[in-house]
Amino acid sequence: MSMAQIKTLRERTGAGMLDCKKALTEASGDLDAAVDWLRQKGIAKAAKKSGRAAAEGVVASYIHAGGKIGVLVEVNAETDFVAKNDQFMAFVNDIAMHIAAAAPTYISRDEVPNDAIEREKKVQLARVMEEGKPQHIAEKIVAGRMGKFYEEQCLLDQTFVKDDKKTVGEVVSDKIATIGENIKIRRFSRFVMGEGLEKKQDDFAAEVAAAAGLA
């Protein structure tokens, strides 16, 4: 099983990364069998909806910690009816709150620039070599650490702040199945009061962590 297979299965079914990995394990790496496994479990219910156009939706805001952190996020749905639904709005608010707390850089792995990926790989490879790990296992270790990099940087791969047993991507898939329409997190911006101003980096980092409730 490879990350490429997991990504392909995710694109075909709309299921979360962990579900796709489990399905491929159960199917011994057979993509078609993995799709069938997800369908049998009801996990791929959102797949038929995931390719439909989501042109409606809302831009929502979330302000945290007395104005220290703010988030704007655009989440799309297929119809204006769903976009005005209380359940959808609560979901959007949860996503904005998650972004405020977890500070993702990208929505998905597909958005991460190649130069950022290569830079991170070089950093992790240098760390592995400094740790004295053998060359023949260095690539496997780096691959594992890159997975952690994506989990930290990509919104859909992050552990959801309100349910540590699910990723944000899995929460989105669950909501698609519940609401019955395709849902897309299209874009977001996260603002931190004082960011970019000249101040000691340690003080700034401590302030952000405290404001997000992470310290």
Same domain as 18, residue 122: no
The domain in which residue 2 lies consists of 1-51
Domain count, the chain: 3
Same domain as 130, residue 106: no
Residues of the chain above pLDDT 90, percent: 40
Q: What is the distance, to the nearest Å, from the Cα of residue 50 to the centroid of all Cα atoms in its chain?
A: 16
Predicted confidence (pLDDT) at residue 150 exceeds the cutoff of 80: yes
User: In this structure, are residues 7 and 17 in contact, taking their beta carbons and an 8 Å threshold?
Assistant: no
Same domain as 139, residue 69: no
Residue 197's H or E segment, with its range, is none
Q: Is the dihedral of CA 188, 193, 198, 202 positive or negative?
A: negative
Residue that wins the pLDDT comparison between 12 and 29: 29
Question: What CATH number has the domain bearing residue 46?
Answer: 1.10.8.10
Same domain as 200, residue 158: yes
Same domain as 63, residue 166: yes
What is the model's pLDDT at position 62? Answer: 94
Q: Is the dihedral of CA 148, 149, 152, 157 positive or negative?
A: negative
What is the model's pLDDT at position 46? Answer: 55
Residue that wins the pLDDT comparison between 200 and 129: 129
Residue 113's H or E segment, with its range, is none
Same domain as 38, residue 117: no
Tokens in use for 122? 């070089």
* pLDDT mean over 50-67: 79
Place of tokens 């209380």: 86
Same domain as 169, residue 107: yes
pLDDT in tens, 60-87: 999 987 889 999 999 998 888 888 889 9
Residue 108 three-state SS: coil
* pLDDT mean over 4-24: 80
Predicted confidence (pLDDT) at residue 205 exceeds the cutoff of 60: no
Same domain as 60, residue 42: no
pLDDT in tens, 101-114: 999 999 999 899 99
Q: What mean pLDDT, rounded, does the chain reach?
A: 84
Predicted confidence (pLDDT) at residue 155 exceeds the cutoff of 70: yes
Predicted confidence (pLDDT) at residue 52 exceeds the cutoff of 80: no
Predicted confidence (pLDDT) at residue 140 exceeds the cutoff of 70: yes
Same domain as 126, residue 40: no
User: In this structure, are residues 34 and 49 in contact, taking their beta carbons and an 8 Å threshold?
Assistant: no
Question: What CATH number has the domain bearing residue 143?
Answer: 1.10.286
Residue 21 phi/psi, 5-degree rounding, is -65, -45
Same domain as 160, residue 106: yes
